[in-house]
Structure 1
Amino acid sequence: MTRLRLHRADDQDTLDLIRELMDLNVTLVLIGVDIPRSGLLRGVYIDPRTKQWVFPDVRRGKSHNEAASTQTERRFDMVDLDPFDYTTPAGITAFQDHLAGIEDQLRLFYSFEGMLTTGEMPEYLYRRTHGIVGLLRRLIEDGCTEAITSREERLTPELLARTAIRLGNLADLDPEAGEILEIPQDVQPPGKEKSRKRPRNTVYDDHGQRPAADG
């Protein structure tokens, strides 16, 4: 949805087609990034009481067809797919349940139960992706490719640490639509985090005999 640029005639035709489909007895699932600020849903906001998206009334006298500017936005039921939250027990459980669903679909020779859901793996995956489903999917897909190529045939934090998340090589992503995300960098696997090395205590070092003082 965020790829529609309404200043282009072709995109206006596409939006008109979507409106016509909305008049049919079908359910449309439309996906986009940051829809409220995309311009397609003008000036919407979340009502803190109802947690629903609110569409403000059209200002009178601004258009020859005042209802036209809201005929699209008033037909939407907005559903937010926020990143997973790793700061609450409920959020952690939801993230681990999602990992369990992914794990059930992996077909690596040496995979094992709990490969993605036990130990330090869930926290590492969250640190690599900030709980964003798209980044998580790409990391695991590329990690599986690395696991097969290297014949390790299972996912570990060490293997994923050498698997970079790259979105720039996807030709269908639109930077102007917010589809190129900020990817966490230099995330080390558990136990490998960089730390400042403490200087060695040299108080008791033997520096040899001191020369005798001159008489």
Structure 2
Amino acid sequence: MSVTLILVGVGIPTSGLLRRGRFDPVAKQWVIPPVRDRGRSPNPDASTQHERRFEMVDLQPFSYDTPGQINAWVDHLAALEKSLRLLHDTEGMLTSGSMPEYLFQRTNGVVGLLEKLVQRGCRVAIEGGSEQLTKELLSRCAVLPTDLPDLDADSGEQPLIPPVESRPRKKPKNRNTAFDDSGPAVESAG
């Protein structure tokens, strides 16, 4: 009987999940032996029969270099857009104008970062009453490493989070004082 399982996870090949391990009572932790393959397996990294039965598919973040990659990103944004529950019509909110490029720059194409940014943006839009996601609104929303507590930054699980580009504030113009009235002249007592 054939069964197809689709499992998603981070660092599966190095986690030991697919390899046989042993519990070390002294260290009180599981020990996963290094991969030792004698060249008999079609998978050079496989060490056990269990590991050879899985085909690992490495999913990378979206890219934004070719028209096909851009279309894939925009298609993903369109699917996300359909799931938004804001009062105003959400069609085109994430996919029109320069919004796809803006969202890619903010997330480097990492789906988890995109979802956190959109979640935070929706919360701000609802609380503020605008019920719309705009670049101006999203620029006030930061995605921080603390938003991804389940991912270990030291192991490389946590993606690089691009900083929010803050627009430089315009320096206020000096006030024209040519017509200021300095009040009545002060008479000197003397």
TM-score by shorter chain over 0.5: yes
Matched, 1:180 2:145: no
**What does the per-residue CA deviation read over 1:151-189, in whole Å, with 9 as the maximum and x for residues that have no partner?**
11010011100101134145433445533222000335x
Superposition CA RMSD, Å: 2.9
Give the structure 2 partner of residue 56 of structure 1: 44
1:62-92 Cα shifts (integer Å, max 9, x gaps)? xxxxxxx322220111122211110000000
More deviation, 99-108/28-37: 28-37
| Alignment partners' CA distance in 2, 1:172 and 1:105 | 24
8 Å Cα contact 1:125-1:136 kept in structure 2? yes
Residue 10 of structure 2 is matched in structure 1 by 33
Percent of residue pairs identical: 53
Match of 2:80 in 1: 102
1:43–1:157 distance in 2 versus 1, CA, 3 Å: farther
Aligned residues: 150
Partner Cα separation in structure 2 for residue 87 and residue 28 of structure 1: 32
Superposition deviation, residue 39 in structure 1: 5.3
Following superposition, the deviation at residue 95 of structure 1 comes to 0.2
Spell out, residue by residue over 1:34-59, the C-alpha distance to the aligned partner (whole angstroms, 9 max, x if none).
43454557489xxxxxxxxx52287x
**Counterpart position of 2:184:** none
Structure 1 residues 126 and 170 mapped into 2: Cα distance closer, same or farther (>3 Å)? closer
The yes-or-no answer on 1:142 pairing with 2:130 is no
2:71 maps to which residue? 93
Unaligned 5+ segments in structure 2 are 19-34, 169-190
Name the amino acid aligned to 1:96. Answer: V
Runs of 5+ unmatched residues, structure 1: 1-23, 45-53, 59-68, 195-215
**How many Å separate the matches in 2 of 1:130 and 1:71?**
37
The question of whether the paired residues in 2 share the 8 Å contact of 1:111 and 1:155 is answered with no
1:113–1:162: structure 2 CA closer, same or farther, 3 Å change rule?
same
